[in-house]
Every structure is written in C-alpha cells, then in structure tokens.
Amino acid sequence: MVWITEALALGLIAGGLGAHLFAKLFPQFSLGMVGTTIVGVAGGGALSHLLFSTMPLVENASDKLSFPGAITHVVVGGIGGALLTAIIGKFKPRTA
C-alpha cells in the first residue's frame, strides 16, 4: 500500500493547482494566494481520498500506483480543489 502516500500527494498538489487555475479564470472566487492554496489542497486531498476510499476497484491490487491511477488522482484532485474554492469563494465576505 505504498501507493496510497503517492496518490494522496498527487491529490494534494493537484488540488492546489486546480484551485489556483480556477481562481485565475474566475477572480471573483479568489481567496488570495494563501487562502486559495489552503482551500485547494484541502479540497483536492479530500475529494481524492473520498473517491478512492469508496471505489477501491479503481486502483490495482499491487503495491504500485499505475499510470492511469495517477492521472485519475491528478484530475480528481484538481477538480476537488477548484470545487472547494468555488464553494468557499461564493460565501466569502465582499468588500466595497
């Protein structure tokens, strides 16, 4: 189960990148550099872990992370980071 650490790291990194990409495309949801990073990492890690803990058949039974599995973790992590950034950014207080 060594691949779990690698998969979680991929989800965390992709979550941060996905959140920053989303914040650049939609600046009204931006939480600042640090806020977007924290929320993106949390969202990417959470969605990546949630998806693959409920769907273990996506990964192979070996001790290695497969290439399609790694790509899936990156995509899911990026989506999770962007999604949580959108949710938190929607409810952040607006300044005049």
pLDDT one digit per residue (tens) for the chain, 96 residues: 556 778 888 899 999 999 999 999 999 999 999 999 999 999 999 998 888 777 665 555 556 677 877 888 899 999 999 999 999 998 887 664
Per-residue pLDDT, 67: 80
d(CA 45, CA 56) in angstroms, rounded, equals: 16
Tokens of 61: 């039974």
Is 5 a member of any domain?
Answer: no
State the DSSP string of 37-66: HHHHHHHHHHHHHHHHHH-GGGS-SSSS--
Is 82 a member of any domain?
Answer: yes
Domain that holds residue 44: 10-58+65-90
